[in-house]
Amino acid sequence: MAWMKIKDAFKAQAGVELTIKGWVRTKRDSKADGGLSFIAVNDGTCFDPIQVVARHDLSNYEEVAKIGTGCSVEVDGVLVESQGKGQSVEIQATAVRVIGWVQDPDTYPASNKRHSFEYLREIAHLRTRTNTFGSVARVRHALSQSIHRFMDEQDFYWVHTPIITGSDCEGAGEMFRVSTLDFCNIPKTDDGQVDFSQDFFGKESHLTVSGQLNVETYASSLSRVYTFGPTFRAENSNTTRHLAEFWMIEPEIAFADLHDNIELASGMLRTCASDLLERRMDDLEFFDLRIEKGLIDRLKMIAEAPVKTITYTEAIKILEGCNEKFEYDVKWGSDMQSEHERYLTEKHFKQPVAVINYPKDIKAFYMRLNDEGTDGAPGQTVAAVDILVPGVGEMVGGSQREERLDVLDSRITEMGLDIEDYWWYRDLRKYGTVPHAGYGLGFERLVQFCTGMQNIRDVIPFPRAPRQAEF
Interacting residues with RNA between 331 and 360 (CB under 7 A) = 335, 337-339, 342
Nearer to RNA, 13 or 83 (CB): 83
- Torsion angle of alpha carbons 354, 358, 363, 368, nearest 10°? 90
DSSP-assigned letters across all residues of 364-419: -TTBPBPPTTGGG-SS-EEEEEEEEETTTEEEEEEEEB---HHHHHHHHHHTT--G
Please pick, from the candidates 11, 14, 63, 66, the single residue that binds RNA as defined by CB under 7 A: 66
In DSSP terms, which residues pair with 438 in a beta bridge? 252, 399
In DSSP terms, which residues pair with 114 in a beta bridge? none
* 464 forms part of the interface with RNA (CB under 7 A): no
* 144 forms part of the interface with RNA (CB under 7 A): no
Instruction: Report in angstroms how near the CB of residue 199 gets to RNA at its nearest.
Output: 26
Can you tell me the distance from the alpha carbon of 209 to that of 173, in angstroms, rounded to the nearest whole number? Answer: 7
* 176 forms part of the interface with RNA (CB under 7 A): no
In the region spanning residues 417 to 456, those forming contacts with RNA, defined by CB under 7 A, are: 440-442, 444-445, 454-456
Instruction: Report in angstroms how near the CB of residue 128 gets to RNA at its nearest.
Output: 17
Instruction: Report in angstroms how near the CB of residue 372 gets to RNA at its nearest.
Output: 24
* 319 forms part of the interface with RNA (CB under 7 A): no
Please pick, from the candidates 128, 179, 237, 380, the single residue that binds RNA as defined by CB under 7 A: 237
In DSSP terms, which residues pair with 79 in a beta bridge? 91
* 119 forms part of the interface with RNA (CB under 7 A): yes
Taking contact as CB under 7 A, which single stretch among the options 100-108, 142-150, 263-271, 306-314 is the one that binds RNA?
100-108
Instruction: Report in angstroms how near the CB of residue 36 gets to RNA at its nearest.
Output: 6
Q: Mark out the alpha helices in 24-116 (DSSP H runs).
A: 61-64
* Closest C-alpha to 386, from 439, 316, 313: 439
Residue 78 CA from chain centroid, whole number: 40
Can you tell me the distance from the alpha carbon of 149 to that of 421, in angstroms, rounded to the nearest whole number? Answer: 36
Please pick, from the candidates 63, 240, 415, 424, the single residue that binds RNA as defined by CB under 7 A: 240
Instruction: Report in angstroms how near the CB of residue 441 gets to RNA at its nearest.
Output: 6
CA distances from 193 to 186, 189, 190, 196, 328 (A): 10, 5, 7, 9, 43
Nearer to RNA, 101 or 201 (CB): 101
* 82 forms part of the interface with RNA (CB under 7 A): yes
Instruction: Report in angstroms how near the CB of residue 255 gets to RNA at its nearest.
Output: 23
In DSSP terms, which residues pair with 247 in a beta bridge? 230
Please pick, from the candidates 17, 375, 394, 427, the single residue that binds RNA as defined by CB under 7 A: 394
In DSSP terms, which residues pair with 53 in a beta bridge? 38, 92
Instruction: Report in angstroms how near the CB of residue 202 gets to RNA at its nearest.
Output: 29
Residue 337's SS3 state is: coil
* 241 forms part of the interface with RNA (CB under 7 A): yes
Please pick, from the candidates 132, 210, 266, 400, the single residue that binds RNA as defined by CB under 7 A: 210
Instruction: Report in angstroms how near the CB of residue 120 gets to RNA at its nearest.
Output: 9
Strands 157-158 and 89-100: unpaired
Instruction: Report in angstroms how near the CB of residue 85 gets to RNA at its nearest.
Output: 4
Please pick, from the candidates 111, 198, 221, 413, the single residue that binds RNA as defined by CB under 7 A: 111
Taking contact as CB under 7 A, which single stretch among the options 66-74, 184-192, 278-286, 298-306 is the one that binds RNA?
66-74
Residue 361's SS3 state is: helix
Please give the DSSP secondary-structure letter assigned to residue 347: I
Rounded to 5°, the CA angle 341-345-350 comes to 160
Nearer to RNA, 119 or 424 (CB): 119
Please pick, from the candidates 235, 292, 314, 409, the single residue that binds RNA as defined by CB under 7 A: 235
Site string for RNA, 8-47 (x = CB under 7 A): ------------------x-xxxxxx--x-x---------
Nearer to RNA, 31 or 430 (CB): 31
* 191 forms part of the interface with RNA (CB under 7 A): no
In the region spanning residues 257 to 316, those forming contacts with RNA, defined by CB under 7 A, are: none
Q: Which helix (H) or strand (E) holds 52?
A: strand 50-55
Strands 308-311 and 205-207: unpaired
**Hey, what amino acid is at 443?**
F
Instruction: Report in angstroms how near the CB of residue 447 gets to RNA at its nearest.
Output: 10
Strands 50-55 and 164-165: unpaired
* 393 forms part of the interface with RNA (CB under 7 A): yes
Can you tell me the distance from the alpha carbon of 386 to that of 380, in angstroms, rounded to the nearest whole number? Answer: 17
